[in-house]
Structure 1
Amino acid sequence: MEKRIAIIGGGIVGATAAYYLSILPGSEQTKVTLFDDGTGQATTAAAGIISPWLSKRRNQRWYRLAKAGAALFPELMRRAQLGTDVYQQTGTIVTREVPTDLETLVDLAYERRQSAPTMGQIETLSAAEVQQRVPLLTAPQPGVFISGGARVDGAALVQGLLAQATAKNLTIRRERVRFTADGQVVTSMGPRHFDRVIVAVGAWLKEVVAPLGVVAAVRPQKGQLIELNVKDYPLQENMPVVMPEGERDFVPFGHGKLIVGATHEDDGKFDLAVDPAVTADLLASAQRLMHGVTADNITAVRVGTRAYTPDFAPFFGPIPEHEAILAASGLGSSGLTTGPEIGRLLAGSALYGGTPDWSEYELPLTTYLTSSAE
């Protein structure tokens, strides 16, 4: 008997879930429909860094999830046959200006590698050695190099995964949908019943689940980054990503493209307008490490909306009292790292059912999803 699954939201979680629902055993008996109107999606505005191992966050559940997400990426890219324009392990360099701070960071790297061999090689670099690896920088700081770190183009990743799934069992509908009180999905063609629904709408989760009598503890945050056209060095596509202390992240792509960002603007919420003052701030960050860059080098500004929870932790799984509906949100700025693993887990749950135990990755969903009657 054919199983009908809906996915609401086509960002990193929704796209990855759709991909796995097209390749997992039993997918040949599954029909998947993805609904997304494309407004404000964080993933399509993102150019991310896959390097969670030196994070200062103390949330061990988040760290285990992020570590699993980073480990999944190489396998996912091979299986989906996506190229280096989407994802590439170029390594990451995390800098520190104070020598003792750098020593502490290096010690942490070796400690974390004991449980995360995918970190790869660890090297301490002088400022000159950092500049040698990333000649775009004219005012570098010393840092630690992690060879397993990578860069990923969020928009290209989503497009690649959805294209693969569409070739098998996925239909994409470019529209906004809502729920009825009993969990049916109201589309432009009227209410429709699905055996399972995955809701991956990020910061819009609160309004989407409200008709179900559910309150979601999720808030929006605006994020902006800039694309710069810079000197095209030989082998620039292999340059490490740089996470400078006190400045925005630098993500070099090939052919003279450099991404700088992103911002974390709580006041921006769902505003998707480019803010010239923020653009200037991002450019100033680039100029402090790269001499000679001007506003003329800016080729694009990307804007998206992230989702955050009160404790800055993601959550995912069946909505309490609505077990056929699975939700994910609260990924924040680590969405490109944690999203694929969350999407994979939700796809398996939607396809096979059961009550998986994901407590190693998250607190109980009742921490974030409560009844509006309470």
Structure 2
Amino acid sequence: MQKQVTIIGSGIVGAVTAFYLSADPTLNVTIYDEGIGQATKNSAGIISPWLSKRRNQRWYELAKAGAALYPEIVQTVQMGYSVYQQAGTIVTRHDPTDLDALYKLATQRRQAAPQIGEIEKLTATEVQERIPLLTAPEPGVFISGGARVDGDKFAHNLLKYAEKRNLVRHKGKVTLGDQGQLLTQHGQQAYDTLILAVGAWLKPLLLPMGIVADVRPQKGQLIELQLPESWGDDVPVLMPEGERDFIPFTRSKLVVGATHENDMGYDLQESALVEDDLFASGVKLDSRLTKDQISQVKVGTRAYTRDFAPFFGPLPDNPHILVASGLGSSGLTTGPMIGKLLADYVQTGQQTDWDRYQLPISTYLDDAD
């Protein structure tokens, strides 16, 4: 008899989990999505964790593993360059000493992460040669393994692929009862395993069960510009010092952003002031940009925890309910590995090496008063 696995949330974690589970003929897989404020749909799309100076080693191991999964998934689903492209990343530094330290860090980390690829120290002129859009380039370090991904298209492609195998999709809001009952607009739905991949909305979803999740919403905004010129598929992503990230997507789309706004709650309103700030950051890199080139402002809500680390796995008192949250601004990087680990757990019941990637899940869950 097939087991019923239900996933709530179709962002990066939900989509990757569904992708892996849909290959298992012993499972019926269903996914529900409300689709409001999803971080995956409104993300900048940089996959390049290796030069991060975050001290959390568990986060780095998770991000490194997530980045390594992309080529395998992209090849399986046959996604094009407009979805994912390993065009490299350039990280700039003002100070030559800082640049040398960054180059040294990349060289050290390549020993355990060959996915970094080639490493080059570039002059300002060489940076401009790689990214012709720039009018004020600075020296930087280039790593060929860095990539850009359109999170919205990536998740969409995964779900369409999973539907062809063994996935049923539903739109609409769901809630939980005090015993973890799944309540939908069509009434209570049965499940054998429930996976809550709802990002910043995990806290209100779990409250009826008397569980308080250490999850806070973080607002993120970015701008997309449609430029008159076009470029090839091999233009790298730029992570400049002191400015917003600068992501040239295939052909003529440029993304600048995103912000990290911790005190805005679940606000999804576009801010003209933030738009101006993002545009000003873009102009510092390319002085030819004009405001009428802004084609879209995107706003999403990320989930973050008090230590800015993600968590995932079964609830301590209910192993049939799995949760994942707290991915923050690196969700597109850590999300694939979290989705794969959750899918493996559903199929095997094992949490192999999970302590490499996170603190105990009880760190982030508490009983309601």
TM tier, smaller = over 0.9
Q: 1:315 and 1:137, CA in 2 relative to 1: closer, same or farther beyond 3 A? A: same
Deviation at 1:355, TM superposition (A): 4.5
Q: In structure 2, what is the Cα distance between the partners aligned to 1:263 and 1:288?
A: 16
Match of 1:249 in 2: 245
Q: Distance in 2 between matches of 1:327 and 1:127?
A: 45
**Selected match of 2:223 from 208, 214, 226:** 226
1:233 shift after superposition: 3.8
AA of the residue aligned to 1:147: S
Structure 1 residues 192-214: Cα deviation after superposition (integer angstroms, max 9, x where no partner) = 22000110000100011112221
CA deviation digits over 1:160-206, x for unaligned, max 9?
Answer: 00000111211111111111122221111211220001100001000
Matched with 2:363 is: 367
Which residue number in structure 2 is paired with residue 11 of structure 1? 11
* Contact 1:197-1:350 at 8 Å conserved across structures: no
Match of 1:20 in 2: 20
Q: Is the 8 A contact 2:218 2:260 kept in 1?
A: yes
Residues 92 and 99 in structure 2, CA contact (< 8 A), matched pair in contact too = yes
- Counterpart secondary structure, 1:338: helix
Range moving further from structure 2, 288-297 or 239-248:
288-297
Q: Does 1:331 align with 2:327?
A: yes
TM-score, normalised by the number of residues in structure 1:
0.97
Q: Which amino acid aligns with 1:224?
A: Q
Q: Against the structure 1 CA distance between its residues 114 and 173, is the aligned structure 2 distance closer, same or farther, given a 3 Å change threshold? A: same
Structure 1 unaligned spans of 5+: none
CA distance in 1, matches of 2:332, 2:9: 15
How far 1:232 moved relative to its partner? 2.4
* Amino acid in the other structure paired with 1:77: V
Q: How does 1:93-112 map to 2 (within 5 A)?
A: 93-112=90-109
Residues 231 and 250 in structure 2, CA contact (< 8 A), matched pair in contact too: no
Q: Which amino acid aligns with 2:110?
A: R
Kept after mapping to 1: 8 A contact 2:225/2:293: yes
Whole-Å separation in 2 of the counterparts to 1:5 and 1:184:
14
CA-to-partner distance for each residue in 1:21-73, whole Å, 9 max, x for gaps? 112xxx11211111111111000111311100010100000000001011111
Distance 2:35 2:234 in 1: 31
- The residue type paired with residue 273 of structure 1 is Q
1:163 and 2:163 are equivalent in the alignment: no
Write out aligned runs for 1:135-214 (5 A). Answer: 135-214=132-211
Partner of 1:341: 337
**C-alpha distance in 2, partners of 1:183/1:362?**
24
1:79 aligns with 2:76: yes
Q: Return the offset for 1:338.
A: 0.5
> Once the two structures are superposed, what CA deviation does each residue of 1:349-373 show, in whole Å capped at 9, x if it has no partner?
1233244440010000111012225
CA contact (8 A) 2:22 2:165 kept: yes
Counterparts of 2:235 and 2:274 in 1: how far apart (Å)? 26
Please show how residues 261-276 of structure 1 align to structure 2 within 5 Å.
Answer: 261-276=257-272
Structure 1 residue 91 displacement after superposition? 0.2
Q: Which residue of 1 aligns with 2:41?
A: 44
**Does 2:347 correspond to 1:351?**
yes
2:132 pairs with 1:127: no
Give, in whole Å, the separation in 2 of the partners of 1:355 and 1:257.
Answer: 41
SS in 1 for 2:25: helix
Q: Residues 219 and 259 of structure 2 are in contact (CA less than 8 Å); yes or no, is this contact kept in structure 1?
A: yes
Q: Distance in 2 between matches of 1:355 and 1:286?
A: 43
* Residues 81 and 250, structure 2, Cα contact 8 Å, conserved in 1: no
* CA deviation vs aligned residue, 1:75-124 (integer Å, no higher than 9, x gap): 11111221211111000000001111101111111011111111000000
- Structure 2 distance, partners of 1:353, 1:4, is 15
SS at match of 2:62: helix
TM-score, with structure 2 as normaliser: 0.98
The answer to whether the Cα contact below 8 Å between 1:232 and 1:254 also exists between their aligned partners in 2 is: no
The alignment of Structure 1 onto Structure 2 pairs a total of residues equal to 369
- Mapped to 1, the partners of 2:264 and 2:208 lie a distance apart of 26
How many Å separate the matches in 1 of 2:125 and 2:154? 33
Among all aligned residue pairs of Structure 1 and Structure 2, give the percentage whose two residues are the same amino acid.
58
Q: Distance in 1 between matches of 2:17 and 2:162?
A: 10
Consecutive unaligned residues in structure 2, runs of 5 or more: none
Which SS does the other structure have where 1:47 is aligned?
coil
- Quote the RMSD (CA, aligned, Å): 1.0
Q: Distance in 2 between matches of 1:360 and 1:249?
A: 29
Is residue 92–residue 145 contact of structure 1 (8 Å, CA) maintained in 2?
Answer: yes
**SS class of match (1:167):** helix
Shift >4 Å, 4+ stretches = none
Contact 2:344 2:350 in 1 (8 A): no
Aligned partners of 1:136 and 1:231 also within 8 Å: no
Q: What is aligned with 1:216? A: 213
Give the AA of the match of 1:360: R
Instruction: Tell me the distance in 1 between the aligned counterparts of 2:21 and 2:367.
Output: 30
Question: Is the 8 Å Cα contact of residues 220 and 259 (structure 2) preserved in structure 1?
Answer: yes
